Structure 1
Amino acid sequence: MNENDTIIALATASGAGAIAVIRLSGNDAITIASKCFKSVSGKVLENQSTHTIHLGHIVDGDRVVDEVLVSVFKNPNSYTGEHVIEISCHGSTYIQQEIIQLFLRQGCRMANAGEFTLRAFLNGKLDLSQAEAVADLIASDNEASHQIAMQQMRGGFSSEIAKLRAELLNFASLIELELDFAEEDVEFADRTQFKELVVRITFVLKRLIDSFAVGNVIKNGIPVAIVGEPNVGKSTLLNALLNEERAIVSDIAGTTRDTIEDEISIGGIGFRFIDTAGIRETSDVVESIGIKKTFEKIEQSQVTVYLFDSEKGISNLNTIQIEIEKIKNKYPQKPLLIIANKVDKLTDNQLAELEQHIEGVILLSAKTGFGVEQLTDLLLELINTGALRNNETIVTNTRHYDALLKAFEEIQKVKYGLETGLSGDLMAIDIRQALYHFGEITGEITNDDLLGNIFANFCIGK
């Protein structure tokens, strides 16, 4: 990759629209743009100040391609740290391609996926974790994932890691200095302060590692499996949650023969509801495959919703309790919500009997919508959103999580070395490894393969 050439790409979504934005970045971006831009006021683009917008026309010789607005950002005060030009043109796909092709002929090169953000990283405008947060922000589809990505892009996670790394690096330097004066038997690093630092680092690392359990499901959507016998209203409940006729509903048992998934946002958090085939004994080969998939989806889900027909269940409470116990015993760590559906058909005495015999049962009518709000409230309570409310750092990136685990392992070795009086040269090895894993997160330690893997997942133009 040539980091000195000028790159160009469509920065807005492809396809026709009201306007489109075409971005150029590189040392010659302003010079190249000046060749094809004629300001209505006669200004020369190269002579204009940074962070200014100019009305004019993109021209190819004597031919006017489009009337545009050109934004000028001069290095180092731009997104990439280079000269950047952004052309706001009309959103015709023809116009977009004409402008891009014109600048390619003037010496630009089509940008690779994520290359603008890669240049921002290489030029010190963002660290690696902030750069990754840009992709997360673009991909965010609910309030919670957006909030986490914004916090990380603003450097919340980076600053926390950088502070720990700086303190550890300071002690590492003192330990290394001791090695240079090994014959004098001197101690430059205060072991008491070092122990306090290790305890503090351990606490922070553990909190960040533990946050991944919440962060990962928030980022990817929390899978909720809706299970139960055939014809108890699972598809009707899914439709009620989604406010649309997403799943086929009929009185025929076994109508749902495959899993149906859809996602909604509840309280700013994405939940992916999975309507599964009804669980029962069947000789139907296709339905059997669907039931097998049901158990696979329970395995993959974070929460299981067990639904039963309250009208039939009131006369068969023992069977319902046995089914509930089976699920609890098979998935003891998985939250289980028990829902009695079709309660609009029961008397008050029957409702009281249900609540008496089945602990924690949620009374609901998917058909009328009664109890649906209570269900969504309970789903939110199952997710630890305290960290979001308190604006704490939440880890959502698998690469960061892996580096944190490795750093934690090395810090535990350092802690053990301090407790057992391990020699400074051996302890220095563990400290260096911990520093290495901290550096992996922010990009102070990196390689071309890692950068290639990260930025390949970006969209073109960002």
Structure 2
Amino acid sequence: MILQDTIVALATPSGAGAIAIIRLSGKDAITIASKVFRSVSGKDITKQKTHTIHLGHIADGDKIYDQVLLSLFKGPNSYTGENTIEISCHGSTFIQQQIIQLMLRSGCRMANAGEFTLRAFLNGKLDLSQAEAVADLIASDNEASHQIAMQQMRGGFSNEIAKLRDELLNFASLIELELDFSEEDVEFADRTQFHDLLNRIEFVLKRLIDSFAVGNVIKNGIPVAIVGEPNVGKSTLLNALLNEERAIVSDIAGTTRDTIEDELVINGIGFRFIDTAGIRETKDVVESIGIKKTFEKIEQAQVVIYLIDSSALANDKEYLNRLKIEIEKIKNQFPLKPLIVLGNKADKITDGQKTEITLAIEELMLISAKENTGVEELKDKLLSFVNTGALRNNETIVTNTRHYDSLLKALEEIQKVQFGLQSNLPADLMAIDIRQALYYFGEITGQVTNDELLGNIFANFCIGK
């Protein structure tokens, strides 16, 4: 894939604003811009140095569209590796459209989604995993996802993969050399060193694969379902967590008929809280649909908060027994999901009653969503379910499903090579599995690619990036 034409796109969000940036990239970007840019000092931008900024006007003949700042970057010292122009104009949508249309008439083509970053990849400015991190960086909405994207964009992940691939490639070359001298029965590759290398590669691959569970929730947020019987304070708890009146609060049981979702960032980790309809037996058709959705949301959630009314619990043994059965049902139906049992309305019971019900229900946390007591302790409990140790230690964390899939396949091939080495299989059979492992390593960094793969990856980018 060789792209040689000049592309143009709006690099800032669409709509009116104070400033907008229009980006051009390609062999003729500077020449095209020079046709419509008039420097206030009379400079010819085709003769100016790279990485310079010039004040002037964008004009079509006698018609001036705007006074702008033009930033000039000459290839290969630019983001895309090509000649690049960035025009900072006033943020009127009319001005944006007029300048882009003028560039199109002057010889540019509208950029496709992610085409600037695609050109950066094709011109060797970024490898494929770094290019994908650009999209993750733009989409990051909390500190943790931002930190992971920055680490990957700086090459932390790709450097680790590239190092393993180079070491494996060296041994693969020696194995292939043995095949050329197969009739002489010689070994160029030290089998002990090869065994140690395979063990080290296996260890790193397993660590990266295991990190995906953490990386995925950090990138996409952790869904938390708030469930319980009607009128126990689920909506009040959601409002207390979000510190705003997001959900309708009423003394009437069954007020929440549908699920309500909102996100909260706690210590850099995104949590998506889902307030669900109360779970109870009902003949109300609409409420029944809401309760059915509640169980669907529990299925989708990674953490479940089961909320109970501690004031009712303290005075009703039948209620206590019923809750114990319901809690066991959720544990049995969703055994792998962390479950937090919260006793709400703790402000309405005595200290003696608090002691009694905490002894009756294992791991019960008491809070008062209305009085906002115990909410911070709940946030700490939620954070305890997220392994952020790798983040604090600045270890590589995998967040991309494509990378995860390639790592799994590479690990499978490495384990085949290990088995072949232990079984003294012929070098030609091991060489096949080594080549496959190298292929999957190359898929991650872009050393092995095709147009369809690139199309799928960059289709998810915004147009101006």
439, 444, 458: which one aligns with 2:442: 439
Residue 420 of structure 2 corresponds to 417
Residue 372 of structure 2 corresponds to 369
Residue 56 of structure 2 corresponds to 56
Provide the rounded CA distance (Å) in 1 between the counterparts of 2:33 and 2:313: 73
Provide the rounded CA distance (Å) in 2 between the counterparts of 1:62 and 1:361: 76
Once the two structures are TM-superposed, the CA of residue 396 in structure 1 deviates from its matched residue by 0.5
381, 390, 395: which one aligns with 1:378: 381
Provide the rounded CA distance (Å) in 1 between the counterparts of 2:86 and 2:311: 64
Provide the rounded CA distance (Å) in 1 between the counterparts of 2:151 and 2:259: 35
Provide the rounded CA distance (Å) in 1 between the counterparts of 2:163 and 2:435: 16
Q: Secondary structure at the match of 1:96?
A: helix
Once the two structures are TM-superposed, the CA of residue 320 in structure 1 deviates from its matched residue by 2.2
Residue 296, structure 1, aligned to residue 296, structure 2: yes
Residue 457 of structure 1 corresponds to 460
Provide the rounded CA distance (Å) in 1 between the counterparts of 2:282 and 2:422: 62
What per-residue deviation string (whole Å, max 9, x for no partner) do you get for residues 152-171 of structure 1?
01100000000000000000
Q: Secondary structure at the match of 1:14?
A: coil
Once the two structures are overlaid, the 10-residue window that deviates more, 192-201 or 31-40, is 31-40
Residue 129 of structure 2 corresponds to 129
Once the two structures are TM-superposed, the CA of residue 259 in structure 1 deviates from its matched residue by 1.0
What per-residue deviation string (whole Å, max 9, x for no partner) do you get for residues 239-283 of structure 1?
111111111111111111111111111111110001111111111
Provide the rounded CA distance (Å) in 2 between the counterparts of 1:192 and 1:228: 59
319, 334, 338: which one aligns with 1:335: 338
Residue 347 of structure 2 corresponds to 344
What per-residue deviation string (whole Å, max 9, x for no partner) do you get for residues 350-389 of structure 1?
1111222222211111111000100001100111011111
Residue 83, structure 1, aligned to residue 83, structure 2: yes
392, 400, 403: which one aligns with 1:400: 403
Provide the rounded CA distance (Å) in 1 between the counterparts of 2:52 and 2:12: 20
Name the amino acid aligned to 1:446.
Answer: T
Residue 152, structure 1, aligned to residue 133, structure 2: no
Residue 179 of structure 2 corresponds to 179
Provide the rounded CA distance (Å) in 1 between the counterparts of 2:84 and 2:136: 23
Residue 321, structure 1, aligned to residue 321, structure 2: no
In structure 1, the gaps of 5 or more residues are none
Provide the rounded CA distance (Å) in 1 between the counterparts of 2:271 and 2:207: 24
- The 4+ residue runs of structure 1 with deviation greater than 6 A are none
Provide the rounded CA distance (Å) in 2 between the counterparts of 1:357 and 1:192: 59
Provide the rounded CA distance (Å) in 2 between the counterparts of 1:78 and 1:286: 58
Aligned positions of 1:21-36 closer than 5 A: 21-36=21-36
What per-residue deviation string (whole Å, max 9, x for no partner) do you get for residues 131-167 of structure 1?
1100111111111111111110110000000000000
Q: Secondary structure at the match of 2:322?
A: helix
Once the two structures are overlaid, the 10-residue window that deviates more, 45-54 or 354-363, is 354-363
Query: Normalization by structure 2: what TM-score?
Result: 0.98
Aligned positions of 1:205-224 closer than 5 A: 205-224=205-224
Question: Percent of pairs identical after alignment?
Answer: 79
What per-residue deviation string (whole Å, max 9, x for no partner) do you get for residues 108-153 of structure 1?
0000000000000000000111111001111111111111111101
Provide the rounded CA distance (Å) in 2 between the counterparts of 1:225 and 1:10: 39
Once the two structures are TM-superposed, the CA of residue 2 in structure 1 deviates from its matched residue by 6.4
Provide the rounded CA distance (Å) in 2 between the counterparts of 1:328 and 1:3: 56
What per-residue deviation string (whole Å, max 9, x for no partner) do you get for residues 184-210 of structure 1?
000000000000000000000000000
Provide the rounded CA distance (Å) in 1 between the counterparts of 2:251 and 2:216: 38
Once the two structures are TM-superposed, the CA of residue 438 in structure 1 deviates from its matched residue by 0.4
Provide the rounded CA distance (Å) in 2 between the counterparts of 1:12 and 1:414: 49
Residue 189 of structure 2 corresponds to 189
Once the two structures are TM-superposed, the CA of residue 323 in structure 1 deviates from its matched residue by 1.8
Residue 266 of structure 2 corresponds to 266
Name the amino acid aligned to 1:364.
Answer: I
Provide the rounded CA distance (Å) in 2 between the counterparts of 1:438 and 1:387: 22
Provide the rounded CA distance (Å) in 1 between the counterparts of 2:47 and 2:159: 38
What per-residue deviation string (whole Å, max 9, x for no partner) do you get for residues 92-113 of structure 1?
0010011111111110000000
Provide the rounded CA distance (Å) in 2 between the counterparts of 1:5 and 1:20: 23
Name the amino acid aligned to 1:22.
Answer: I
Once the two structures are TM-superposed, the CA of residue 319 in structure 1 deviates from its matched residue by 2.4
Once the two structures are TM-superposed, the CA of residue 287 in structure 1 deviates from its matched residue by 1.1
Provide the rounded CA distance (Å) in 2 between the counterparts of 1:354 and 1:441: 53
Provide the rounded CA distance (Å) in 1 between the counterparts of 2:295 and 2:422: 48
Residue 120 of structure 1 corresponds to 120
Once the two structures are TM-superposed, the CA of residue 326 in structure 1 deviates from its matched residue by 1.7
Q: Secondary structure at the match of 1:391?
A: coil
Aligned length, in residue pairs: 462
Provide the rounded CA distance (Å) in 2 between the counterparts of 1:106 and 1:326: 68
Provide the rounded CA distance (Å) in 1 between the counterparts of 2:413 and 2:166: 16
Provide the rounded CA distance (Å) in 1 between the counterparts of 2:19 and 2:451: 35
Query: Normalization by structure 1: what TM-score?
Result: 0.99
Provide the rounded CA distance (Å) in 1 between the counterparts of 2:363 and 2:49: 66
Name the amino acid aligned to 1:271.
Answer: F
Task: From the superposition, tell whether residues 311 and 240 of structure 1 become closer, same or farther in structure 2 (CA, over 3 Å).
Answer: same
Q: Secondary structure at the match of 1:338?
A: strand
Provide the rounded CA distance (Å) in 1 between the counterparts of 2:162 and 2:138: 25
Q: CA RMSD in A?
A: 0.9
Provide the rounded CA distance (Å) in 1 between the counterparts of 2:297 and 2:63: 59
Name the amino acid aligned to 1:458.
Answer: F
Provide the rounded CA distance (Å) in 2 between the counterparts of 1:355 and 1:126: 56
Residue 8 of structure 2 corresponds to 8
